[in-house]
Amino acid sequence: MYIHNIFRVIKAIGLLIISLNCLANESITLSESEQLAIELDFRTKQFDVSARGLTERAVADGQLPDPKIKFGIMNIPINSFDLRQENMTQLQFGVQQKFPRGRTLQYKSQQTLDIAEIDAAKADNQTKIVLRSVRISYLELYFQNHTKAILDQNRDLFTQLLDITQRQYAVGRDNQHDVFRAQLELSLMDDRITEVIGARDVAIAELAKWIGQENATKPLAPEFPELKILPGSEMIVDELTNHPLVKAEDAAIDANEKNINIAQEQYKPGWMIDLTYGARSGNNLDGSSRDDFASAMILMDVPLFTDKRQDRQLAASKLQHMAAKYARSDLLLDLKRQVEREYALWARLGERHELYQQRATLDASQNSESTLKAYQNDLTDFTTLMRARLTELDTHLAMLKIQVNQAKAHARLLYFVGEAL
């Protein structure tokens, strides 16, 4: 009964210490970590700025080319270089304006907007990647913290067991083998704690990548991290067409469709207007001033030989458009497979967690309690008691791992679900 009471007191003290530490320090929640990660992610900002830049460029792409201004002198007599000598000598000022084929400019502007949509979708996808990553990192750190807390509590129990076996060996009740076994298990417990500390440092470094070192070293909120509720797998699959990756493919298809439109416009003629004013100096033989000249010309591209250029460009655009459609179909199929795999994993882990919560941990605790009573009444040996305690420890650690792994699967599934941030 004495050993039994010691175990209860040590467990209660361990839980109290954990709670006091969480209250004494400023903790950080999963929700706060998510917001910090989004604010600190430069890749999302990169895609967002790029999308806005392309939107600005789309306006420019829809404008006519800048007009060309020309200035020159025509028909200069090379014997005297006198601008007044000959009637045809002129100072010319002109302007040229080019008009691309058909509605090429309109389609180019729309195509640039489609490319901007690709970067905007990439920004949304990067946000989802950041949320998924910070959630998994947070859950991993939560797992390592609570694993260490459980091991620390059990180390105290094993320390008490070692002390008890040493005292009982001194009075002749236990043999030296029990003392050695208790020392061995305590050493192995120290090794497990050291391993967990290393894993916790790695988890902190991973979380720090998303929220900064100062925030990652804060204690986590004591309660288990809550994630947004998952819809059914069929609903997730049905909504995959709204996923940013699919939207990016849709925008790529639209951009390739504009390539087809642009290629079709190349069968139409392009135009250029040339307006010129020629100023003449000097006078005519009768003393009257010479008239100035004005001219207007229209230049036109004539796409007569299309088999090697326009036809090939149109065929290439159509093939690229088809390739973009195939890429979208392949992406949707791949996303669907990922959803089905993660959802199955999430559901199975949920069943296992329920099993551990309702049966396995209770059975392990009852087995440990009954073995302790049997040991106190000299009905079993110390090895059996130690094995029962280790089984109880491993069962609680396994339940914690299953719970965290299910939450990680949950976080990965949320990547496929639209979220209002």
Break the chain into its structural domains and give their ranges.
35-63+115-268+306-414, 65-99+269-302
Structure tokens at 174: 């236990």
List pLDDT tens digits, range 297-334: 999 988 888 888 999 999 999 999 999 999 999 999 99
Structure tokens at 390: 């280790």
Residue 370: CB atoms within 10 A of its CB come to 13
pLDDT reading at 21 higher than 60: no
pLDDT reading at 147 higher than 90: yes
Residue 91: CB atoms within 10 A of its CB come to 15
Average pLDDT over residues 221-239: 93
pLDDT reading at 183 higher than 80: yes
Average pLDDT over residues 402-409: 97
Out of 166-170, 253-257, 372-376, least confident range: 166-170
pLDDT reading at 287 higher than 70: no
Q: What CATH architecture applies to the domain 35-63+115-268+306-414?
A: Up-down Bundle (1.20)
Is the Cβ–Cβ distance between 325 and 253 less than 8 Å?
yes
Q: Give dist(CA 414, CA 421) in Å, integer.
A: 12
Instruction: Work out the pLDDT band at 174, boundaries 50, 70, 90.
Output: low
Percentage above 70 pLDDT, the chain = 90
Highest mean pLDDT among 77-86, 150-159, 377-386: 150-159
pTM: 0.83
Average pLDDT over residues 137-166: 88
Residue 186: CB atoms within 10 A of its CB come to 16
> For residue 376, what pLDDT is reported?
76
pLDDT reading at 19 higher than 50: no
Residue 108 burial (C-beta neighbours within 10 Å; 0-12, 13-18, 19+): buried
Q: Give dist(CA 373, CA 241) in Å, integer.
A: 61
Q: In 3D, which of 59, 60, 54 has the Cα closest to residue 121? A: 54
Average pLDDT over residues 78-91: 79
> For residue 81, what pLDDT is reported?
75
Q: In 3D, which of 283, 275, 273, 297 has the Cα closest to residue 92? A: 275
Q: Give dist(CA 393, CA 400) in Å, integer.
A: 11
> For residue 11, what pLDDT is reported?
46
Average pLDDT over residues 283-288: 67
> For residue 123, what pLDDT is reported?
96
Report the amino acid identity of residue 240.
L
List pLDDT tens digits, range 197-228: 999 999 999 999 999 999 999 999 999 999 99
Instruction: Work out the pLDDT band at 173, boundaries 50, 70, 90.
Output: low
